[in-house]
Structures are given as C-alpha cells and as structure tokens.
C-alpha cells in the first residue's frame, strides 16, 4: 500500500469501472461526430480573468470554488472549473470564427471545483461538452438538445427528464431584472445574498437553501417578461423538439449557475440521484464572446457529466457492454508453446480480437483460472504434445467443449468461432 492517497473529493478511475466511463464518453460523443462537431482540447488551466469575466464574478464557481495559483512569473491561473469559456477562447484565438459558421466543436476532459464532497459531486469531475459558435438559430439550439437526448437514449437511460426555459435577451432581461430585484429586496435574506441581488439577481433564484427557496414562491418569472422576439425564438425551439419526439418539461424557474446564459436554457435531471439530480445541461450564450474580449458571436452549447451519467445508469440498473472485454485467452505450457501462442495472440489482436495471454510462466491449472476470471469466451491451450502434433486446443469456456485445431488454421478458426470476417 502507498503512503499517499488521492486528495479529498477526488477519485481514481480503475478497471473494471473505468469501462463504463469510456462507454459513456463514446455514447455522448458519437452523435456529435455524426452531426459535424470536431474535437477540441484546451489546457487544464487558464488565466483567472477568463473565468471571472465569462462564468461571472458573482457566481459561487468564481468566488468560492476555483482552484487558483500564481506562477513564478506572477500570472494568476485557475484550474478550469467548466469548459465553455476555454473552448470559446481557443476558437477566438485561432480565428475559427472568420471561417464558415457555425463552428461546431466537442470536447471531453476533467474539471475542478473546490466544494464540499458528497455523492455525485466531486472536486474533480469529468464532462463531455459541445459548443456551436457563430449562429443565432432555433434549429441549432434544438439540434444540441436532441443530440444530448439521443445520447442518453442510446445508453439505455429511461428516467432522464429534460427541463426547458428561456432567460430572454438584452432587450427584455433588464426589465425582468428590475422587477426581480424589487421583489428580492423585500425578502429576509443574509448579507451575501443581498449583495448578489445587486450584481446578478437571477443567481438568487438558483439558491439551493430551503430558507431562501421558501421565500421565492411568488417571485416574478422571466416567461412573463419575454419580448416578442424571445417568445417566438423559444416557441420555435419547443416545436422542433416536439417534432423530433424529444419530451421536455417547461420550467419557468430554471436558471442554472452561470452568468452567461441567454434565451434557451435547459437541464437534464435524473430523479434517482437524490439532491444532486442534474446530469447535464446548457443553453445559449450570445454575449459571452464579447465578455472575454472577442467580437459578437452568438453561440449555444452544453456539458454532460460523465460521473453523473454513470451514477444514473447504476441507479436504473443499466449494464453497458464492455467493448474491451477479453474474447480469447491464450494458455501456453512450455517455452516453445509460449512463442507460438504469443505470435497467434498478436495476429488475433491485429484482426480486431481482444486477446490476452497467460504471462509469468503459470502452470496449466493457474493459467486456466486466469482464463476463466478474464471473462473470455474462448481459451487457446497449447502444450508440448499439441505442439508436436501441430495442433492447439480451442476451448469454449462457457460450455467446456474443446476441439483440436491445426496451428496453421488457428487464427481463421478463432475468427470463425467469434463470427468475425476471415483473416486478412
């Protein structure tokens, strides 16, 4: 055992559980790749100011949860707490917005927030995200929501609910903001929350404390203050989702925890996860590019939590297929047999077969135990007598049936047994 352990609020991802995380990442990214989204990868840390401007100086993420550091050169950096600001910064820096629009990008990685660890909430977590930059189009908002919904469906999740709202734009948001501030100022709130009323009152609506939520029952709603343009835009998004067969619930109180959202806002939740029910979400952020010093670039995106999605799968009892599960396990007895079977294993792997090998010179009994523990469908057994007869024993580990196969036909016979195409 090591003297060290993982830092509080983090986790190590190890087999076999790690296979579920890989399967979730693949299921989420597959629809995006089919829809023309290209992969982007950004540094694990950025300048603090990027998140202060983009995420919002009044958010808990910036004020309480960012991991920050000062470099030897005096730069203030932060481990990335979310992905959108970094991806937008990278796209602007590379001048992608000067080409064909929208720029469609997807990403996957780890993010970091200093918060109280609990089930479903860690200080280091994994997300897959998507951003469509440079177009203000209800179809683009609907596309992203549909791609996320399709990913959850492909994983076999059936209890994910989609919440949908509109947060208005620069025309109607100020009117709503003023009405909400008037309402909130009359409530019995602590000093920090009162300060937030003046900076970003919508963030108060996202407060999870029951003492605050109980006072928000009669708070004014954004939907009652939407301008005609925002009403029309939101209705088009709704119609496109309904036409695609994506069910949703209108949630007029949905705000989410970031300052940059405008118009379309959505969240995927799973009731089997308790208080930490959100598994992903996103929305439109038409002014974010300008907030971080770029040109006007209307955009929309989302991030889905890999950790939360795995928990949701387990809550529903969904077992994911293991794409990397061992199919064939080779068991040699003797040095000459080791060389022969090692060559066969290499050939099988080159044909796309997941094959493993009894390393370490194990005896037949222990090697067969390893074969059974591997979960493989077939075992290849080769001893000195087999080698002399130029055959290997091909054993079905489920039925126990065993047949002798000529060594020169071994790869072809294994592929046939696994219903794979003939060896190239």
Estimate the crossing angle of helix 410-417 against helix 335-350, to 10 degrees. 50
Backbone angles phi, psi at 245, to 5 degrees: 75, 20
Using CA atoms, how far apart are residues 366 and 350, in angstroms rounded to an integer?
27
Backbone angles phi, psi at 221, to 5 degrees: -110, 145
DSSP 420: P
- Classify residue 124 as exposed, middle or buried by CB count within 10 Å of its CB (0-12, 13-18, 19+): middle
DSSP 272: G
pTM, rounded to two decimals: 0.89
Using CA atoms, how far apart are residues 405 and 240, in angstroms rounded to an integer?
58
- 83 among the known binding-site residues? yes
Parallel, antiparallel, or unpaired: how do β-strands 103-112 and 38-39 relate? parallel
Retrieve residue 348's tokens.
Answer: 């099988």
- 261 among the known binding-site residues? yes
Residue whose structure tokens are 């939407």: 226
- 84 among the known binding-site residues? yes
**What structural domains and CATH numbers belong to the chain?**
18-158+272-316 (3.30.930.10), 328-417 (3.40.50.800)
- 346 among the known binding-site residues? no
3-state SS, residue 395: strand
- 347 among the known binding-site residues? no
For residue 280, list its beta bridge partners.
268, 304
Using CA atoms, how far apart are residues 220 and 83, in angstroms rounded to an integer?
31
Instruction: Write the CA distances from 166 to 207, 232, 267, 370, 417, integer angstroms.
Output: 18, 11, 12, 56, 55
Instruction: Write the CA distances from 394 to 226, 349, 403, 413, integer angstroms.
Output: 70, 17, 5, 9
Q: Mean pLDDT of residues grouped by 10 in the chain (424 residues)? A: 87 90 96 98 95 74 85 95 95 96 97 84 93 97 98 96 94 90 92 86 84 90 93 98 97 77 94 86 93 94 96 94 85 93 95 93 89 92 93 94 94 92 62
Residue 2 has a pLDDT of: 74
Estimate the crossing angle of helix 306-316 against helix 138-155, to 10 degrees. 50
Residue 422 has a pLDDT of: 67
- 233 among the known binding-site residues? no
Estimate the crossing angle of helix 138-155 against helix 228-243, to 10 degrees. 30
- 198 among the known binding-site residues? no
- 113 among the known binding-site residues? yes
Cβ-proximal residues to 189 (8 Å cutoff; 6+ apart), any chain? 197, 204, 212, 215
Backbone angles phi, psi at 129, to 5 degrees: -130, 165
Cα-Cα-Cα-Cα torsion 383, 385, 386, 387, nearest 10 degrees, comes to 80
Residue 196 has a pLDDT of: 84
Retrieve residue 303's tokens.
Answer: 């991030």
Q: Which of 349, 387, 355, 163 is nearest to 265 (CA)?
A: 163
């Amino acid at each position: 055992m090591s003297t060290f352990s993982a830092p509080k609020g983090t986790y190590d991802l190890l087999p076999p559980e790690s296979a579920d995380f890989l399967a979730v990442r693949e299921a989420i990214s597959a629809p995006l790749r089919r829809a023309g989204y290209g992969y982007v990868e950004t540094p694990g840390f950025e300048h603090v100011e990027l998140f202060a401007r983009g995420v919002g100086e009044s958010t808990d993420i910036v004020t309480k949860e960012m991991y920050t550091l000062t470099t030897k050169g005096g730069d203030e950096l932060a481990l990335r707490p979310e992905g959108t600001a970094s991806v937008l910064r990278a796209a602007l820096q590379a001048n992608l917005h000067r080409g064909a629009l929208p720029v469609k990008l997807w990403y996957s990685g780890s993010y970091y927030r200093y918060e109280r660890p609990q089930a479903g909430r860690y200080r280091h977590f994994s997300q897959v995200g998507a951003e469509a930059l440079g177009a203000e189009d209800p179809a683009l908002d609907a596309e992203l929501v549909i791609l996320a919904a399709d990913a959850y469906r492909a994983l076999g999740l059936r209890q994910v609910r989609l919440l949908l709202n509109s947060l208005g734009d620069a025309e109607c948001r100020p009117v709503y903001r003023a009405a909400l501030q008037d309402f909130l100022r009359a409530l019995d709130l602590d000093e920090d929350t009162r300060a937030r009323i003046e900076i970003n009152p919508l963030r108060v609506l996202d407060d999870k404390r029951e003492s605050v939520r109980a006072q928000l029952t009669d708070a004014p709603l954004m939907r009652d203050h939407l301008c005609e343009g925002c009403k029309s835009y939101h209705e088009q998004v709704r119609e496109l989702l309904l036409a695609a067969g994506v069910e949703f619930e209108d949630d007029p109180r949905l705000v989410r925890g970031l300052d940059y959202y405008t118009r379309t806002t959505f969240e995927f939740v799973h009731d089997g996860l308790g208080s930490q029910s959100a598994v992903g979400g996103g929305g439109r952020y038409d002014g974010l590019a300008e907030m971080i010093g770029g040109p006007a670039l209307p955009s929309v995106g989302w991030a889905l939590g890999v950790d939360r999605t795995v928990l949701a799968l387990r809550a529903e009892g969904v077992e994911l297929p293991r794409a990397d599960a061992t199919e064939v396990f080779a068991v040699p007895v003797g040095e000459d047999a080791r060389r022969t079977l090692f060559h066969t294993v290499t050939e099988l792997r080159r044909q796309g077969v997941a094959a493993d090998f009894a390393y370490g010179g194990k005896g037949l009994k222990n090697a067969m135990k390893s074969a059974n523990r591997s979960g493989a469908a077939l075992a290849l057994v080769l001893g000195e007598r087999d080698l002399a007869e130029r055959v290997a024993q091909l054993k079905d580990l489920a039925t126990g049936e065993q047949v002798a196969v000529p060594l020169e036909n071994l790869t072809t016979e294994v592929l046939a047994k696994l219903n794979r195409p003939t060896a190239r």
